[in-house]
C-alpha cells in the first residue's frame, strides 16, 4: 500500500486567558479606547493606544462561546466558562452557547458574559463602570433592535462613556488601503456564518446594494462533518466539529475550475498522491471498535443485553396476544364448521368482520405472524449469551421504575439499531483470529479525497447543500449589475477579499476566473486579498480608534444614547448606514415600570421618556 | 479592586433601564468582576431569536431604498444546479430510482445499494432532498 499522506489531528487544547495588568498608559492621560471585534466565531479584544508599551495587537482572542454548567438547583452555583477557559469545546459541545444567531448577537446575557470576560482579563480597573470608549463591530445592516440591546448593555450595565459601531470588513478594507483619497471597491467578506458582497464607493459602504449569502465556515464544517460521518459511520463520535475545522483550515482548498479539478480526482494515481489521510487516535486493545476504555465497552454490552431482553420480552407478549386472538378466531370458525350459523354470524359481528372468507384470511395472516415471531424468538434465544439469562429476573418490570427504564430503552433502540447490526457479528466472531492484512491504523483513518474541494465549494455552489441562494460569483454579478457600466468598471478594479473563511488556498485564482467569465471581453479587474484576513478587522478598528478618539464623528456618547435611543448610530467611514427609525423603548417584564410600556412596534417618533 | 455586581435596583442612578422581556439588567452599580452573581436568581426569560427580531423589524416604516438586514439577503440562483454524486462528489449523470441518490459510476451504485437506510437518508438530507413523509 502506498505510504500516502497521513496526518495527525492536533486536537489542541485552549489555554486559559490570564488576567492581564495593562500598563498605566491605557488610563493616562485619558482612558484609551478598547477595541473589540465581536465575531460569531471569535472575539478579539485589545487596546487602541499609541504608547509603545501597549501592544498594538489583540491581547485576547477566544471563541465566542460560553458554557453554563448548572450547579445545585435554583441557579446557585452555576459555573460559567467563557472562551479559552473551556479548554476544549468537545466534551461540552452540547452545553456550549453563543450569543449569536447567525451573525447577529441576540442573547445579550451571553454577550454580557463575553464582555465580562474581556473586561476582566484585559484588566479593566475602573470602579462602577468601564471607563474606556468602546469600538465594537456589528453585522452589516445590523437590525435596529440588536443595536438597541447592545447599546443598552454597554451604556446601562457597563456605563461606558462612548461607543462606536463599525463593520468588520470595512475596518479591514481601510486597514489594507489606508489612503486618503476616496476609493471604490467590491468587498467580498466571508466569515463564520455569512458571506457578504459589499460595494464601497468613495470609501463609504453603499449599503442598499449589499448582498449577504447565508453561508460561511460554520456551514462548511457541518457539511464536512456529515459527509465524513456518513462515510465512516463507525467513527461517528470521533468526527468532531473541532477536527473538521482543522481539516478545513489545513487540508482544504478551492478549485480554480471545479469540474476540471474533479476530473483530476477520478484518476487513481492522482487520488493516491493527493488524498490526505487523517489519523484518528486509536488503541490496539479493542478490535473493531473505536472506544478506547473498557468501561465504555462494558456498558455498551450491558445496554445491548438489555435491548435484547426487551426485544425478547416484547416478542413473547406479542406472541401471546396473537395466540389468544387466533384462538378466538379459530373458535368462531369452528362454529361455522359445526353448522351453528346463528352463533357464527354473531361471532363475526363481534369480531367486526363481514364474511367467512375474511375470517379465513385473517386466520391465515395471524398464523403466519405467529410463526414469524416464534422464529425470531428462537433466533434471539440462540444468540443471547448466558449472562443475559442470569440477569433476566432483574428486568421484570412490575414496578414503575422498571417501566421507566424500558421506555428509555425503547428510545435507545433507535440509537443503537445501526450499531446493533454492526456489533452482533463482532460478538459472534472469535476475537482471536486477526486477519493478516487488516491494518488497524488504516481502519482509523479518514480519507479526504474530493472532500478537500467539495466542502469549500459550497460558497460558489450553495446547491451542493440544498441552499437556494446564489453563490459568491453569481451574487457578485448581481451586485455589479445594479450599477451603470462605468461604476462597475471602477468597482472591479479593487475586488477585496477578507474574513477568515477566505483563507482557502486557491480562492483568489477562482475569483479571478469567475470575474474573467462575467466581465466584458478584455476589460480589466484586480483582486486583492487582505494581508491578514482574520485580524485585519481588529487592526482596522484600532487604526480608526487612534485617529478619531478625540473627534465627535462616529462616536455615540451617553447623551446621544439617552436622547436618541439605543438604535442610534453615528456614521463614519467604516460604519453601517443609519436609517433613522425610532424603536419603542422596550417595556420591562416586571411590574416595576417608571416609563409607560409601549407595546406597539409601530409607535415611532416618541421621545425616549425617562423617569 | 474588583467587587461583585449588585442585583438591587437603584432608581437614583441614571434612567430606569428598560428590561425587555429577556433583559435582566438591574445593576446600574456595575462594578466589574468576572464571576458575578448576576446570572443567578433571574426568571427564565427567552430572548427573541433572529427570526423574531427580523419579523418585527419588517413592520417598521422603511423607505424603498433603505438597507435593512432582511433586504440585503442574496437572491436565489438563476442558474440550474449542477448534479454531483452524493458519495464521491464527482459529476453525476445517474440517479438511483430506489433511493434517489446520485452516483457517477458502477462501483458507487453497488456501494449505494448496500447502504443502510439511515445513511441513505443522511445523504439526502445533506442536500435537502428528503422526501416529504406523510
Residues, chain A: 611
Q: pLDDT of A497-522, one tens digit each?
A: 999 999 999 999 999 999 999 999 99
Tell me phi and psi for residue A335, to 5 degrees.
-55, -40
> B88 CB near a chain A CB, below 8 Å?
yes
pLDDT at A76: 54
**Interface residue A227 vs chain B (CB under 8 A):** yes
Question: B28 CB contacts (<8 Å, ≥6 apart)?
Answer: A156, A159, B9, B10, B13, B14, B17
Q: Which long-range contacts (CB under 8 A, 24 or more apart) does A187-190 make?
A: A187/A496, A187/A497, A187/A498, A188/A472, A188/A476, A188/A495, A188/A496, A188/A497, A188/A498, A188/A502, A188/A511, A189/A497, A189/A498, A189/A499, A189/A502, A190/A216, A190/A217, A190/A459, A190/A472, A190/A497, A190/A499, A190/A500, A190/A501, A190/A502
Q: pLDDT tens for residues A517-546? A: 999 999 999 999 999 999 999 999 999 999
Does position A590 have pLDDT exceeding 50, yes or no?
no
Q: How confident is the model at residue A42 (pLDDT cuts 50, 70, 90)?
A: very high
Local structure of A37: helix, strand or coil = strand
Average pLDDT over residues A343-363: 83
* Rounded Cα distance, A401 and A392, in Å: 16
CA distance A47 to A23: 11
| Per-residue pLDDT tens listing for chain B (134 residues) | 333 343 333 333 333 333 222 222 334 444 332 222 333 334 445 788 899 999 999 999 999 989 999 999 999 999 999 999 999 999 999 999 999 999 999 999 999 999 999 999 999 999 998 876 65
Q: Which helix (H) or strand (E) holds A364?
A: helix A356-383
**Residues 6+ positions from A137 with CB-CB distance below 8 Å:** A36, A37, A38, A39, A165, A166, A167, A168, A171, A537, A541
CB A21 within 8 A of CB A122: no
| pTM exceeding 0.90 | no
Q: Assess A16–B contact: CB distance below 8 Å, yes or no.
A: no
Close Cβ partners of A40 (under 8 Å, ≥ 6 residues apart): A64, A98, A100, A102, A103, A191, A192, A193, A218
CB A105 within 8 A of CB A99: yes
The whole-number pLDDT of residue A585 equals: 72
Instruction: State pLDDT tens for residues A461-472.
Output: 999 999 999 999
Considering only A120-129, A449-458, B10-19, which range has the smallest mean pLDDT? B10-19
Share above pLDDT 90 across residues of chain A, in percent, rounded to a whole number:
55
Higher model confidence: residue A93 or residue A471? A471
Whole-number Cα distances in Å, A62 to A252, A309, A498: 23, 48, 19
- pLDDT-based confidence at A245, cuts 50/70/90? very high
- pLDDT confidence of residue B134: 52
Compute the distance between CA of residue A482 and CA of residue A252 in angstroms, rounded to an integer. 33
- Please state whether beta strands A42-47 and A66-69 pair in parallel, antiparallel, or not at all (unpaired): unpaired
- How much is the average pLDDT of A92-105? 91
Question: Is residue A74 predicted with pLDDT exceeding 60?
Answer: no
Q: How confident is the model at residue A216 (pLDDT cuts 50, 70, 90)?
A: very high
Query: How far does the CA of residue A130 sit from the closest CA of chain B (Å)?
Result: 8
Q: Looking at CA atoms only, how far is residue B98 from chain A in angstroms?
A: 19
pLDDT at B69: 95
A188 in contact with B, Cβ within 8 Å = no
Please report the residues numbered 462 through 491 in chain A whose beta carbons come closer than 8 angstroms to any beta carbon of chain B. 462-471, 474-475, 478
- Lowest average pLDDT, out of A142-156, A179-193, A536-550, goes to A179-193
| The pLDDT of residue A366 | 87
pLDDT of residue A437: 57
* 3-class DSSP assignment, residue A88: coil
The answer to whether the CB atoms of A474 and B79 lie below 8 A apart is: yes
ipTM: 0.74
pLDDT at residue A438 tops 60: yes
Whether A413 has its CB under 8 Å from any CB of chain B: the answer is: no
What does the mean pLDDT of chain A come to?
83
* Residues of chain B contacting residue A462, judged by C-beta atoms under 8 Å apart: 77
What pLDDT was estimated at residue B47?
A: 82
Q: Which residue has the higher pLDDT, A590 or A527?
A: A527
Under 8 Å between Cβ of A167 and A575: yes
On the 0-12 / 13-18 / 19+ scale of CB atoms within 10 A, A91 is exposed
In this predicted structure, which of A24-33, A158-167, A193-202, B75-84 has the lowest mean pLDDT? A24-33
- Which of B21, B29, B81 has the CB atom closest to A463's CB atom? B81
A59 half-sphere exposure, CB direction, 13 A CA radius: 25
Mean pLDDT value of segment A309-326? 87
Confidence band, pLDDT 50/70/90 cuts, at residue A479: very high
- Give the distance from CA B118 to its chain's centroid: 24
Q: Which residues pair with A369 in a beta bridge?
A: none
Residues 228-257 on A with a CB inside 8 Å of B are: 229-231, 233
Which chain B residues are Cβ-neighbours of A145 within 8 angstroms?
48, 53, 56-57
* Nearest Cα residue to A501 out of A294, A249, A314: A249
Q: What is the predicted pLDDT for the residue at B73?
A: 95
Q: Kindly list the residues from chain A whose CB atom is less than 8 angstroms away from the CB atom of residue B59.
A: 601-602
CB contact under 8 A, B23 and A108: yes
B33 vs A19, A160, A471, B38, CA distance in Å? Answer: 11, 15, 45, 10
Residue A433 has pLDDT above 90, yes or no: no
Sorting pLDDT into bands at 50, 70 and 90, what band is A303?
confident
The residues facing A135 across adjacent strands are A35, A164
Of the candidates A147, A150, A165, which has an alpha carbon nearest to the alpha carbon of residue A112? Answer: A150
Decide: B38 and A78 in contact? Cβ < 8 Å: no
Write down the pLDDT at residue A292: 56
**Strand partners for A188:** A197, A497
Residues 269-308 of A with CB under 8 A from B: none
* Residue A3, pLDDT score: 52
Averaged pLDDT, A93-108: 92
The rounded Cα A349 to chain-centroid distance in angstroms is 59
Which of A180-184, A422-426, A472-476, A600-604 shows the highest mean pLDDT?
A472-476
User: Alpha-carbon distance A175 to A178, whole Å?
Assistant: 5
Least confident of A46-55, A243-252, A362-371, A434-443: A434-443
For an interface test with A, give the residue of B43, B69, B90 to mutate (most A CBs within 10 A): B69
CA–CA dist B77, A463 (Å, integer):
9
Instruction: Identify each DSSP E strand in chain B by its residue range.
Output: 94-95, 102-103
Per-residue pLDDT band for A383 (boundaries 50, 70, 90) equals low
Residue ranges in A183-293 assigned as alpha helix (H): 217-231, 241-251, 258-266, 268-274
Q: How far apart are CA A203 and CA A201, in angstroms?
A: 5
Asked if pLDDT for residue A387 goes beyond 50, the answer is: no
Q: How far is CA A337 from CA A171, A204, A328, A330, in A?
A: 93, 95, 15, 10
Bigger pLDDT: A304 vs A397:
A304
Amino acid at each position: 500500500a502506498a505510504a500516502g499522506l497521513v496526518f495527525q489531528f492536533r486536537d489542541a487544547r485552549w489555554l486559559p486567558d490570564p488576567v492581564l495588568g495593562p500598563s498605566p498608559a491605557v488610563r493616562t492621560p485619558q482612558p484609551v479606547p478598547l477595541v473589540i471585534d465581536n465575531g460569531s466565531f471569535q472575539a478579539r479584544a485589545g487596546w487602541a493606544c499609541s504608547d509603545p508599551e501597549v501592544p498594538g495587537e489583540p491581547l485576547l482572542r477566544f471563541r465566542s462561546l460560553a458554557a453554563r454548567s448548572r450547579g445545585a438547583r435554583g441557579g446557585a452555583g452555576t459555573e460559567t466558562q467563557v472562551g479559552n477557559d473551556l479548554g476544549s469545546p468537545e466534551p461540552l459541545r452540547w452545553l456550549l452557547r453563543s450569543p449569536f444567531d447567525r451573525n447577529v448577537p441576540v442573547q445579550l446575557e451571553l454577550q454580557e458574559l463575553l464582555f465580562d470576560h474581556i473586561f476582566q482579563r484585559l484588566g479593566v480597573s475602573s470602579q462602577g463602570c468601564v471607563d474606556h470608549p468602546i469600538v465594537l463591530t456589528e453585522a452589516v445592516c445590523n437590525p435596529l433592535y440588536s443595536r438597541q440591546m447592545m447599546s443598552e448593555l454597554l451604556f446601562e450595565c457597563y456605563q461606558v462613556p462612548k461607543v462606536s459601531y463599525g463593520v468588520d470588513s470595512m475596518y479591514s478594507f481601510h486597514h489594507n488601503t489606508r489612503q486618503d483619497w476616496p476609493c471604490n471597491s467590491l468587498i467580498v467578506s466571508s466569515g463564520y456564518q455569512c458571506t457578504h458582497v459589499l460595494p464601497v464607493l468613495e470609501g463609504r459602504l453603499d449599503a442598499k446594494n449589499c448582498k449577504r449569502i447565508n453561508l460561511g465556515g460554520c456551514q462548511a464544517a457541518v457539511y464536512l462533518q456529515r459527509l465524513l460521518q456518513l462515510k465512516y459511520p463507525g467513527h461517528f463520535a470521533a468526527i468532531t466539529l473541532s477536527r473538521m475545522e482543522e481539516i478545513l483550515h489545513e487540508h482544504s482548498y478551492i478549485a480554480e475550475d471545479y469540474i476540471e479539478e474533479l476530473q483530476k480526482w477520478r484518476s487513481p494515481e492522482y487520488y493516491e498522491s493527493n488524498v490526505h489521510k487523517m489519523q484518528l487516535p486509536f488503541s490496539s486493545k479493542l478490535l473493531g471498535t473505536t472506544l478506547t476504555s473498557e468501561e465504555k465497552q462494558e456498558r455498551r454490552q450491558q445496554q445491548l443485553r438489555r435491548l435484547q431482553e426487551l426485544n425478547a420480552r416484547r416478542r413473547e407478549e406479542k406472541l401471546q396476544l396473537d395466540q389468544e386472538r387466533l384462538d378466538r378466531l379459530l373458535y368462531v370458525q369452528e362454529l361455522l364448521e359445526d353448522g351453528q350459523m346463528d352463533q357464527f354470524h354473531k361471532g363475526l359481528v363481534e369480531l367486526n368482520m363481514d364474511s367467512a372468507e375474511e375470517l379465513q384470511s385473517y386466520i391465515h395472516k395471524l398464523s403466519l405472524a405467529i410463526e414469524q415471531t416464534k422464529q425470531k424468538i428462537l433466533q434471539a434465544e440462540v444468540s443471547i449469551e448466558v449472562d443475559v439469562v442470569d440477569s433476566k429476573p432483574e428486568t421484570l418490570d412490575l414496578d414503575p421504575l422498571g417501566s421507566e427504564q424500558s421506555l428509555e430503552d425503547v428510545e435507545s433502540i433507535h440509537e443503537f439499531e445501526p450499531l446493533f447490526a454492526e456489533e452482533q457479528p463482532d460478538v459472534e466472531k472469535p476475537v482471536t483470529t486477526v486477519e493478516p492484512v487488516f491494518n488497524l491504523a488504516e481502519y482509523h483513518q479518514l480519507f479526504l479525497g474530493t472532500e478537500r474541494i467539495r466542502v469549500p465549494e459550497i460558497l460558489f455552489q450553495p446547491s451542493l447543500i440544498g441552499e437556494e441562494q446564489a453563490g459568491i460569483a453569481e451574487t457578485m454579478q448581481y451586485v455589479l449589475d445594479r450599477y451603470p457600466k462605468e461604476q462597475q468598471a471602477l468597482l472591479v478594479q479593487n475586488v477585496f477579499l477578507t474574513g477568515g473563511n477566505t483563507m482557502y488556498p486557491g480562492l483568489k485564482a477562482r475569483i479571478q476566473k469567475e470575474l474573467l467569465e462575467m466581465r466584458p471581453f478584455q476589460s480589466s479587474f484586480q483582486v486583492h486579498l487582505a494581508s491578514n484576513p482574520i485580524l485585519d478587522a481588529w487592526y482596522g478598528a484600532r487604526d480608526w480608534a487612534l485617529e478619531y478618539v478625540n473627534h465627535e464623528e462616529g462616536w455615540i456618547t451617553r447623551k446621544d444614547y439617552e436622547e436618541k435611543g439605543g438604535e442610534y448610530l453615528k456614521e463614519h467611514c467604516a460604519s453601517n448606514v443609519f436609517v433613522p427609525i425610532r424603536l419603542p423603548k422596550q417595556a420591562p417584564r416586571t411590574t416595576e415600570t417608571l416609563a409607560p410600556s409601549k407595546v406597539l412596534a409601530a409607535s415611532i417618533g416618541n421621545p425616549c421618556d425617562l423617569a | 479592586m474588583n467587587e461583585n455586581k449588585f442585583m438591587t435596583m437603584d432608581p437614583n442612578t441614571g434612567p430606569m433601564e428598560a428590561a425587555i422581556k429577556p433583559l435582566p439588567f438591574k445593576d446600574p452599580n456595575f462594578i466589574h468582576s468576572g464571576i458575578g452573581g448576576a446570572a443567578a436568581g433571574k426568571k427564565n426569560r427567552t430572548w427573541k431569536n433572529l427570526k423574531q427580531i427580523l419579523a418585527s423589524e419588517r413592520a417598521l416604516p422603511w423607505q424603498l431604498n433603505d438597507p435593512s438586514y432582511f433586504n440585503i439577503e442574496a437572491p436565489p440562483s438563476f442558474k440550474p444546479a449542477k448534479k454531483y454524486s452524493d458519495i464521491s462528489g464527482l459529476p453525476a449523470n445517474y440517479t438511483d430510482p430506489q433511493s434517489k441518490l446520485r452516483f457517477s459510476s458502477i462501483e458507487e451504485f453497488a456501494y449505494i445499494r448496500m447502504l443502510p437506510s439511515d445513511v441513505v437518508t443522511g445523504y439526502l438530507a445533506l442536500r435537502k432532498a428528503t422526501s416529504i413523509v406523510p
